[in-house]
Amino acid sequence: MRPLVATIDLSALCHNYAVAKRCAPGREAFAVVKANAYGHGVREVVTALHDIADGFAVASLEEAAQVRAVHDHARILLLEGCFEAAEVQLAQQLRLDIAVQNAAQLDAVLAAPAGQPLNIWLKLDSGMHRLGFDSDSLRAAHLALQGSPGCAELNLISHFACADERGHELTERQLECFLDVLDLDFDQRSLANSAAILLIPAAHMDWLRPGIMLYGATPFADLSASELGLKPVMTLTAQLIAQRHVAAGESVGYGASWVASRDSVIGTVSCGYADGYPRHAPLGTPVLVDGQRVPLIGRVSMDMLTVDLTDISATVGDSVELWGKQLPVDEVAQAAGTIGYELLTKVTERVPRRYLSHAAS
């Protein structure tokens, strides 16, 4: 069997959910499990949080159905709402909470045949300018929905654009915009993603929406996950499958882009871009071989990558951590010019996930 596995520590996941809840005592939280639970496996993540999470948030009806299959009574929030009118009935059947973020979605909800009334989350565009009503249209939508038989709870939701950058002036403006419509009667309000849960208590409202923090990565460039009390959930582990001496002046890998400046020992690792490791990761991106930090060298290929072992002692068969318990995913992401979110969600299907249960970890 190819030596590459993503080990998912479900007790770390539960710990991180508890951290989110502790940040905002008395509030409820939708665990954000879209994109296959940020690459961790939605079925296993929802099962682990089954008795702990107040609800789950997803990006599509298909993802909602996956959550419903393992949790019969959880609140499940469809963050972008229904993509076509016919989905409203399916949302009723799945007993979802749905965002309503534009006039077409509003019309679809108002025109839906009688069925299970839905909890509606009116989405306010408070400044991100991606989805949602501006304040005036939101007031009109509120009026249209209030007392409508298809609407159970009438709720308010919005999303921050820059909460991960501490002190960003847009965050203050978005919060003000949100507070400005609170003269309307809403049953529940939700504004905070991970960054706001961790650092902006004024944004906590009634329902939190933690995503990245659940998986033990940081939303901030200047605050590490461990400083925030978060534990890494995914550890991506490969193996050293070959080792060779390369004389000064010889090149390694595709494009012969890396040339040894000294006599070197080069290791080949069983992980490549078809597994989700970023192909654009530059020279020097950290990799842990048998617990020792070494630099990536050469181009990442489809199934393998290469590292410089000259300064350490290593043996073929050694375990190699690409990210996880000992090497924060955020550090690798930063080296590769991306964010932990992207690395985690891009681990491909061919990488087997191995789950550590509560008892095992």
Nearer to ligand PLP, 212 or 332 (CB): 212
How far from 194 is each of 21, 27, 213, CA to CA, in Å?
Answer: 11, 14, 6
**Rounded Cα distance, 235 and 320, in Å:** 10
Using CB under 6 A, which of 79, 138, 260, 288 touches ligand PLP? 79
Looking up tokens 């991100």 gives 128
Please report, as residue ranges, which positions from 157 to 176 form the binding site for ligand PLP (by CB under 6 A).
159
Catalytic residues: 34, 254
Query: Contact letters (x/-) for ligand PLP, 215-234, by CB under 6 A?
Result: ----x---------------
From first CA to last CA, the distance across the chain in angstroms is: 24
Identify which range of 66-74, 211-219, 255-263, 270-278 contacts ligand PLP by CB under 6 A: 211-219
Nearer to ligand PLP, 164 or 321 (CB): 164
How far from 324 is each of 195, 216, 232, 302, CA to CA, in Å?
Answer: 20, 9, 6, 21
**Rounded Cα distance, 240 and 9, in Å:** 23
Shortest CA distance to 193 belongs to which of 179, 208, 205? 208
| 19 sits near ligand PLP (criterion: CB under 6 A) | no
Query: Contact letters (x/-) for ligand PLP, 116-155, by CB under 6 A?
Result: ----------------------------------------
Helical segments of the chain, H only:
10-23, 34-39, 42-48, 61-70, 87-93, 103-111, 135-145, 169-180, 194-199, 329-335, 340-345
Shortest CA distance to 231 belongs to which of 163, 319, 326? 326
Tokens of 293: 């930090």
State the minimum distance, in angstroms, from the CB of residue 225 to ligand PLP.
12
User: Other CB atoms closer than 10 Å to residue 62's CB: what's the count?
Assistant: 9
Q: How many residues are recorded in the chain?
A: 361
State the minimum distance, in angstroms, from the CB of residue 18 to ligand PLP.
15
| 194 sits near ligand PLP (criterion: CB under 6 A) | yes
| 81 sits near ligand PLP (criterion: CB under 6 A) | no
Query: Are the beta carbons of 222 and 302 closer than 8 angstroms?
Result: no
Nearer to ligand PLP, 34 or 299 (CB): 34
**Rounded Cα distance, 224 and 125, in Å:** 30
Nearer to ligand PLP, 210 or 267 (CB): 210
**Rounded Cα distance, 121 and 158, in Å:** 9
Identify which range of 8-16, 65-73, 209-217, 220-228 contacts ligand PLP by CB under 6 A: 209-217
**Is the Cα dihedral 208, 212, 216, 217 positive or negative?**
negative
**Rounded Cα distance, 108 and 33, in Å:** 25
Distance of CA 264 to the CA centre of its chain: 38
Identify which range of 44-52, 144-152, 207-215, 224-232 contacts ligand PLP by CB under 6 A: 207-215
Using CB under 6 A, which of 132, 150, 211, 278 touches ligand PLP? 211
Using CB under 6 A, which of 209, 240, 300, 335 touches ligand PLP? 209
Shortest CA distance to 196 belongs to which of 205, 188, 204? 204
State the minimum distance, in angstroms, from the CB of residue 327 to ligand PLP.
21
Identify which range of 63-71, 208-216, 220-228, 353-361 contacts ligand PLP by CB under 6 A: 208-216
State the minimum distance, in angstroms, from the CB of residue 196 to ligand PLP.
8
State the minimum distance, in angstroms, from the CB of residue 168 to ligand PLP.
14
Identify which range of 21-29, 48-56, 203-211, 318-326 contacts ligand PLP by CB under 6 A: 203-211
Using CB under 6 A, which of 16, 174, 193, 270 touches ligand PLP? 193
Please report, as residue ranges, which positions from 250 to 289 form the binding site for ligand PLP (by CB under 6 A).
none
| 105 sits near ligand PLP (criterion: CB under 6 A) | no
| 212 sits near ligand PLP (criterion: CB under 6 A) | yes
Binding stretches for ligand PLP (CB under 6 A): 32, 79, 159, 193-194, 209-213, 219
